[in-house]
Structure 1
């Protein structure tokens, strides 16, 4: 459980590197090498999470058959990626995990209100 919690911070950092660079740096000032490097690092990280979820098996939570603190920490990061356009078809295990958790009452109750008002989100990660 603790390992997954700490690994979530790495995923969040790599997501943030891609999202905020694209969001904050004007297109004319972006360095293609920085964009590419950030996207490659995030893609590698997403593939590691795919492998992790494959190992725990379909319908399982991150630390076993029960919802745990690891899921409390990791799910918002995955939801954040989905909000910014991550293709769950390209990452089917992440998609299964997202689907498993998104309808839990505790998650529904804590969903950001502005996400409910505007469910579309952005497409920053659509090409990963």
Structure 2
């Protein structure tokens, strides 16, 4: 009797894992289709990030807002994969690199803000 309960428990764990994996793939597919619907505003986006310095600051700002450089990097990779950052005269990778660099710099923004709060408490 105890063995059958263990088998049922393993079955439900495997079933839950498969459901979560299915949900993950559906969300990736949905994110790709949403990125493809943003193609209309690609010219404005490319004009904004065509300057590498502005691209770095966009990456810093995006990471500071959502507080995750991994999420920012994933969004930029999705933009590159869907062709949203590619246009005549610009390579998508060249536009994405400064944004990802800014995302990595933006990771330290939250830590810096917290450390400024601790400096004032020492007195």
Give TM-score, length-normalised by structure 2. Answer: 0.36
Structure showing greater radius of gyration is 2
Structure having the higher helix fraction is 2
